[in-house]
Structure 1
Amino acid sequence: MRYTSALSPALAAIAAAALSIGAPAAASAAPAPATAASEPAPPRLLIALAMDQFSADLFAEYRSHFTGGLARLATGAVFPAGYQSHAATETCPGHSTLLTGNRPAHTGIIANTWIDQSVARPKKEVYCAEDETRAAADPKDYVASVGHLLVPTLGERMKQHWPAARNVAVSGKDRAALMMGGHVIDQVWWWKNNGFVTLDGRSDVPAARAENAAVAKLLAKGAPALPLPAFCAPREGAIQAGSATVGTGHFALAAGDATAFRASPRLDQATLDLALKLVDAMKLGKGAAPDMLAVSLSATDYVGHATGTQGPEMCLQLATVDQALGAFFAALDARGIDYGVVLSADHGGFDMPERQNRAAMPQVARADAALLPKALSAAVAARTGLPAQGLILGDGAAGDFWVKADLPPADKARVVEAARAVLASHPQVAAVFTAAELAATPMPTGSPETWTLIQRARASFYAPRSGDFVVLLNRGVMALPQPGPGYVATHGSPWDYDRRVPILFWRKGMAGFEQPSAVETVDIAPTLSAWINLPVPQGAYDGRCLDLDSGPGSTCGVK
């Protein structure tokens, strides 16, 4: 692919041509027979797109400016108030809901990382997409794995019902590709260091080699800054966040800078290009059974963390990915593939406090460093008389915290109660819930925007991995005490700016509609299952089927 930088009206056509360079022409598929005279046949290829950190707020803010793929999706079935309904609004839990139809309490993916004090290594953190029982060749690395995911994905269910079905996942992150692809997957690729890689023990394929070669060529020579669309210009302006200055970046790429490539629109373009190469190589959508293609676009998240959500960088990122998606869909159309699409996100996001404070939100703040595990351990030690070293473990100023495992039960209980007392008096803390309280809370039902904080936390709670207590910060408090280059903003809160995401379904010829009422991302898998007439056991999903027929008919229910 040639990584185009123009954002003129001709960009979609240019990008579409670039996407198809070197790709073999696909033979036209014979139309599948309709299941009834009045309804279309199920799509032959399901495409699940995740835009990492694409909040409902960003969708609403930029919707009028989209002219490419996102504009196309907005003509389908639009649910602008989708919810990642749980409290742990991070990448791994969010992606685990999208194609399993289950909340983190059932997927087992409670966070990006958790503490397991039984692991035989000094650092007790476990990454959601690793096999901690295996050592990587590089001691600073890990062995990627989907072993922590407790439930099957839609692609796995399709393969079980139709052995000829193919299940493929591509992403800028391993945890995104693996959580959407699952355990039984034909091809899975993600970006790492300076190219796309796959699971340990799997062979390279020509499609990935070709895309990596194209990226290597670009990295070798670098690329100029991307031109800023006129509607992004008002967002220009330098903002200082700690030692980082943001608000003026246009994604210039120095030769050899793979880190800058990753945190730019070019990563999403490369991910879509690899996905299209795999469509061609595997003839997805042309086989005897429907196929599943999961594509997670990671750059919006990298840009959001590095520069915030309200600067020119995010505006440029969204404008570019909109055009890249338009080119991707046009390439699929040219191949004659009958496909159905859903696009959503793993979580939302919130702009950095330094810019929020300038935009009528002076109450937005960074978390106090006193909430970090080391400081909390010291405060609790002072109350209990226990040694502070390693007393309370965690990976930030909010979320799950674990008490030192080898303490006697009575001392553990004292630590939890002392921690609750310390945290309850802190002005930035909204709530503290113990593991026992969460375990005793029924799984929430009803519309997710009405859930209480403990219900949101319950949807993320899985007893074998969750902490001894969970800390939720007040609305507007960002759990990132100290910003710096590459990391000025984050997500992960129980508040709607991190929970609300758009959910968009599209298929050629469908009559579009908009439903503003709240739905959940766990509704995606049952909706797609019904779309392709896939029988699923009762109770397999936490979510429900969303009827995509705006007329008197229904797409829900296996026919």
Structure 2
Amino acid sequence: MKAPWLLIMVLLLGAGPGIAQKRKSKNAAPEKPKLVIGIVVDQMRYDYLYRFWGKFTNDGFKRLVNQGFSFQNNHYNYVPTYTGPGHASIYTGTTPAVHGIIGNDWYNRTTGRNIYCAEDLSVKTVGSTSKAGEMSPVNMISSTITDELKLATNHKSKVIGLSLKDRGSILPAGHAANAAYWFDGSNGSMITSTFYMAQLPAWVQAFNNRKLADQYLSQPWTTLLPIEQYTESDTDDQPYEGTFAGEKKPVFPHDIPGLRGKTFDLLRSLPAGNTLTKEFAIEAIKAENLGKGTVTDFLAMSFSSPDYVGHQFGPNSIEVEDTYLRLDRDLADFLKFVDNHLGKENVLVFLTADHAGANNPTYLKNYRIPAGTTNGAIMRDSLAKHLNQKFGKADYIIKFMNQQIYLNHEVAESKKVNLVELQEECARFVQRFPGIMRSFTADALMRSHWATGIGMMIENGYMPYRSGDVMMVLQPGWYDGYGRAEIKGTSHGTAWGYDTHIPLVWYGWRVPQGESYVRTNIIDIAPSIAAWLKIQEPNGTTGKPLLEYMQK
């Protein structure tokens, strides 16, 4: 009698793991996500997540943090911290020193003029008669994680980038993308360039025909909540806030229909710009069947409006808070759609920012905190006079931009002035100006290496044939005043935490709930995705995968 029971027990025990494994396999996440969604919020400081936490819904930012994994100490590891370099660094897994997008624009010594980071005069606009579509990723010299996904799947994966800003769409989508779309303020439509296609797909034309931009601009901007509830922000109508053109005071309600003018560009500076971006992203997923194929697809989306609002009103304004409260609702709508359309377990999402933003110097000085703005025009004029006195009269300086000094190499050679000596003299002289903490010469950057600190950040942002001859580092609390003694709103671009510390939250496919305070860098995102997808990292990657910190 015992033998049959023993046999049954053996069979049951032998089968047990198999049954358990089958159950586990049935409920486990797929081997690879069906869709990766990169969400970049333009000019989102890390502290916004928690400053406005009490007024967020449970389904937007809170959902990402509470159900995902948040790296609380995530930073940019280079300067200058601008939009173009930020988006490129997120998706290439490396810094401007490698991918080449050293600023939103820079001086081109070959042509003798400034070049825009996404500029490509060899292509034409698709979807408009303007020149807003003469753009491509041609100036980015390394591959992106989106490029590598296309290569890994023999180009079966679909990759689409979208944003109000061209650079916020083009650089993340990479060189091999199926499409990148951005907003044209001249006609209120989403457009692209002949780099990607000859004409807009029918679904994009149908989206443009909805004329959402026109609808949004026909409504005043009022606060989402009663204005007295915005206790996380300064009171309305502060001296550091800018105004819309034609507006007397920076106060709610903003009369958008009366201020819009003849174009649709004002939409960029409104929370409704985020809503249009969200609606377009939903249409892209549906129309392109993203996540419905046999390989992983990638949607790279960027919310640009927070940057415009922040620049104009400053991070302590009610306008900025209202923008984030409304963005939270847009994120909630988008995540709900993605869950219903594809399922959370099939989608890998990350949310981060292309840079953060400084407190306005006027605001800081009201509280006796040291701050200020530099005046590049005065610095250039004084430096030019000094160089004339020391080396003889000549036009030694070509350009002051991105906290860099470009020198005229041909003039130096013709005057028989040693270029290294000229650089060093400039570096010494500019340090006498208020707000300048340190300066680095191109020669020093070429001959030295910094593993940490400010020197590392300067080195990571320096590319010999695109960068200037002298790089300046501003003191904490200071930023470039663009020739003005005092500016409204805010800016960014420095090496300090208020410009470098940004959120990084992962959500969805195989992402456990949790958080980490380990120091991470923005360049770690792309190699992390590559490791998860088991594909090659972008060819210039200098970041590291973060998967070990997110083990269940």
TM class, shorter-length:
0.7 to 0.9
- 1:204 pairs with one of 200, 205, 217: 200
User: How far does residue 417 in structure 1 lie from its aligned partner after superposition?
Assistant: 2.8
- 1:190 and 2:194 equivalent? no
- Comparing 368-377 and 124-133, the one that deviates more: 368-377
- Aligned counterpart, 2:399: 394
Task: Report the Cα offset of residue 49 of structure 1.
Answer: 0.5
* Deviations, residues 340-365 of structure 1 (Å, cap 9, x unaligned): 1000011110122222222x244111
Q: What's 1:152 paired with? A: 143
Q: Deviations over 1:158-217 (max 9, x none)?
A: 111112100110011111111101111112101121321101362112332233233456
In structure 1, C-alpha distance between the alignment counterparts of 2:410 and 2:324, rounded to whole Å: 49
Q: Which moved more, 1:411-420 or 1:451-460?
A: 411-420
What amino acid is aligned across from residue 426 of structure 2 in structure 1? Answer: A
- Where in structure 2 are the equivalents of 1:304-319 lying within 5 Å? 304-319=310-325
How far is 1:269 from its partner? 0.9
Aligned to 1:54: 44
Letter in 2 for 1:239: Q
Listed as ranges, the matches of 1:12-31 within 5 Å are none
| CA shift for structure 1 position 220 | 8.4
Counterpart residue identity of residue 96, structure 2: P
**Range that drifts further, 237-246 or 281-290:** 237-246
1:474-489 matches, cutoff 5 A:
474-481=475-482, 488-489=489-490
- The answer to whether structure 1 residue 406 and structure 2 residue 406 are counterparts is no
Structure-2-length-normalised TM-score: 0.84
> For the Cα contact (< 8 Å) 2:516–2:549, is it kept in 1?
no
Q: Does 1:169 align with 2:161?
A: yes
Range moving further from structure 2, 242-251 or 492-501: 242-251
Bigger-Rg structure (1/2): 2
Q: 1:116 to 1:355 in 2, by over 3 A?
A: same
Query: In the aligned structure 1, how far is the partner of 2:145 from the partner of 2:277?
Result: 21
Q: How does 1:94-109 map to 2 (within 5 A)?
A: 94-109=86-101
Q: Which residue of 2 aligns with 1:40?
A: 29
Contact 2:309–2:320 (8 Å) recurs in 1: yes
1:253 pairs with 2:245: no
1:27-62 residue CA offsets vs partner (Å, 9 max, x unmatched): xxxxxx999689522211000000011011323322
Q: Which residue of 2 aligns with 1:432?
A: 439
Which amino acid in the other structure matches residue 403 of structure 1? Answer: L
In 1, Cα distance between the equivalents of 2:249 and 2:450?
A: 41
Residue 90 (structure 1) aligns with: 82
Higher mean C-alpha displacement, 507-516 vs 76-85:
507-516
State TM-score, norm by structure 1: 0.83
Amino acid at match of 1:99: Y
RMSD over aligned CA atoms reads 3.0
Query: How many angstroms apart in 2 are the aligned matches of 1:512 and 1:187?
Result: 33
Structure 1 regions of 5+ residues with no counterpart? 1-32, 445-450, 553-559
199-208 or 128-137: which moved more?
Answer: 128-137
Deviates most, 97-106 or 245-254: 245-254
Separation of aligned partners in 2, 1:407 and 1:474: 32
Residue 273 (structure 1) aligns with: 279
Q: How many angstroms apart in 1 are the aligned matches of 2:23 and 2:157? A: 19
CA offset at residue 536 of structure 1?
4.0
Q: Cα gap change, 1:361/1:199 in structure 2, threshold over 3 Å: closer, same or farther? A: farther
* Cα displacement string for residues 202-242 of structure 1 (whole angstroms, at most 9, x for unaligned residues): 21123322332334563586102232435425522212249
Match of residue 26 from structure 1: none
- The aligned residue for residue 130 of structure 1 is 119
Contact 2:91–2:525 at 8 Å: present in 1 too?
yes
What code does the residue aligned with 1:384 have?
A: F
Partner SS state of residue 370, structure 2? coil
Structure 2 counterpart of 1:504? 505
User: What secondary structure, in the 3-state scheme, does the structure 2 residue paired with 1:56 have?
Assistant: coil
Aligned to 2:347: 339
Pairs aligned (count): 506
Give me the identity figure in percent: 22
Quickly say closer, same or farther: Cα 1:70–1:365, change in 2 above 3 A: same
User: Contact 2:44 / 2:356 at 8 angstroms: preserved in 1?
Assistant: yes
Written as runs of structure 1 = structure 2, the 5 A alignment for 1:294-309 is: 294-309=300-315
Query: Alignment partner of 1:502: what SS?
Result: coil
2:359 alignment partner in structure 1: 351
- Name the structure where helix makes up a greater proportion of residues: 2
Aligned CA distance change for structure 1 residues 443 and 169 (closer, same or farther; 3 Å): farther
